[in-house]
Structure 1
Amino acid sequence: MSVTLHVCTTCKANLPLAEGEQPLGARLHAALMAGDTPQGLRIVGVECLSACAQGAAIALSAPGRWSYVYGRLTEADAPDILLGAAAYAEAADGLVPWRARPVIFRKQSLARIPPLES
């Protein structure tokens, strides 16, 4: 089963951008794409996750699993995000035990969304 990691590429974390500067979300997306992607994980850039005040934001989802939205992230968090995504991919229902989550996934969760009923 494929897990999708959506990355808001337009997140600026409510910070002004200098001329020609990439948004924080775009830099996070690039850092994640350059990392060691866990098996079964698709990393997809999206234009907005509507978490602008909490950017940069990501969302983890897969069919039949709980979904999560995380915020207040930077490109320095990319290794921990990939570790958390790998743990999520291994959890059949998307519920990773608290202590098995990276600290950023414990402290920077914005939302947990139940799986869709079929």
Structure 2
Amino acid sequence: MRAILHVCTTCRGTDPAADPDAPRPGATLHAALSTAPPEGVEVRAVECLSACSQGCSVALHAPGKWSYVYGRLGPEDAADIREGASAYAATPDGLVPWRQRPVIFRKQSLARIPPQE
């Protein structure tokens, strides 16, 4: 089974001065990732990951693997998210070696969740 990358489309980002009528950064990030999905990964929109104070957020999981939630992201991070999600998909357990992770996946992890049994 493929890895799933859930992208919060309701995330507003961290800029309090952002135009409330502009497209939400989370929806823009989802569009960018959907246009060119990471290898071995299905991109899905989700309306909320309950990380609202952390800017744009994504969750990455696959059956039998560790799952992750990352925050403080934006549309400009799409290339790094693709790289990290592809590396995750290629592992048997979801544990990508530290130095092989993009910097945003090293420093912006909000949660690591054990595999479901």
Task: In structure 1, give the amino acid aligned to 2:25.
Answer: L
Matched, 1:12 2:12: yes
Task: In structure 2, give the amino acid aligned to 1:25.
Answer: G
Q: Which residue of 1 aligns with 2:23?
A: 22
Query: 7-16 or 95-104: which moved more?
Result: 7-16
Matched, 1:50 2:57: no
Shift, 1:16, TM fit: 5.6
Aligned to 1:72, the other structure's residue is in SS state: strand
Task: In structure 1, give the amino acid aligned to 2:68.
Answer: Y
Whether the aligned pair in 1 keeps the contact of 2:40 and 2:90 (CA below 8 Å) is: no
Shift, 1:13, TM fit: 2.7
Q: Which residue of 1 aligns with 2:63?
A: 63
Whether the aligned pair in 1 keeps the contact of 2:13 and 2:74 (CA below 8 Å) is: no
Identity of aligned residues (%): 61
Matched, 1:92 2:87: no
Task: In structure 1, give the amino acid aligned to 2:112.
Answer: R
Q: Which runs of 5+ in 2 are unaligned?
A: none
- CA distance in structure 2 between the partners assigned to 1:106 and 1:3 by the alignment: 19
TM value normalised by structure 1: 0.92
Shift, 1:80, TM fit: 0.5
Q: 1:70-105 CA deviation, whole Å, 9 max, x = no partner? A: 000011100000000000001100000000000000
- CA distance in structure 1 between the partners assigned to 2:103 and 2:20 by the alignment: 34
- CA distance in structure 2 between the partners assigned to 1:95 and 1:83 by the alignment: 14
**Structure with a larger share of its residues in strand:** 2
Aligned to 1:48, the other structure's residue is in SS state: coil
